[in-house]
Amino acid sequence: MGYDSSATRARLLDAAFDEFVRVGFAGARVDRIAAAASANKQAIYAYYGSKDALFDAVLTDRLTVLADMVPFTPGDLPGYTRALFDALTADPGLLRLTQWKALERPGASQLERDAHVTKAAEIAEAYGASLEAGMDVLMLVVVAAQAWATTAPEIRNPDDADEPARLARHRAAMVKAIEATVGALLPAPEVATDRKLRI
């Protein structure tokens, strides 16, 4: 049976994800990543060139998986926020990875910028709003979807209620908040349609 380089790459990405989530970029060690992937350090440099490039590859891979799991629906932002919330709650590792990136490697990559600007433009197109308004709403959607996971349990559940029930109530409140946000910051869809017909 021949050597499967794609399997090695996949193992390295998975092992690197676990390592970066656990200790961040600065604390990650390529020898630990290689050992966890049943590979050698030379494989990391052969496939990715550097630890920096490996981190970028991991982040791109996980964001691609998230995009596949949670398709962007500019015409239903409350539904998108709910789906994004569910994905981040089920797998908090991605959110932790992006937090490490923000702390250790601030600034957006071209891929990240393009992804956000594209989403904001789709919102602007769907509602007949400006790109800036679309970005404002997108930022609020992302923050709302992350709020539960980034708030300490002692704060997000002040009454020590049943945790799953509390999570469900927060999820419902979040959806209502995004519905209100869309209503307050974006023109109604029928207004956007009228504007397009007049152009």
- What's the number of CA atoms in the CB half-sphere (13 Å) around residue 113? 5
pLDDT in tens, 43-86: 999 999 999 999 999 998 988 888 888 999 999 999 999 999 99
Encoded tokens for 36: 């966890």
Distance in angstroms (rounded) separating the CA atoms of residues 24 and 143: 21
Q: In the 3-class helix/strand/coil scheme, how is 127-194 assigned residue by residue?
A: HCCCHHHHHHHHHHHHHHHHHHHHCCHHHHCCCCCCHHHHHHHHHHHHHHHHHHHHHHHCCCHHHHHH
Q: Is the pTM of this model over 0.95?
A: no
Residue 68: predicted pLDDT: 82
Residue 189: predicted pLDDT: 67
The 8-class DSSP code of residue 39 comes to: S
pLDDT in tens, 98-155: 899 889 988 888 888 999 999 999 999 999 999 999 999 999 999 999 999 999 999 9
User: 166 pLDDT exceeds 50?
Assistant: yes
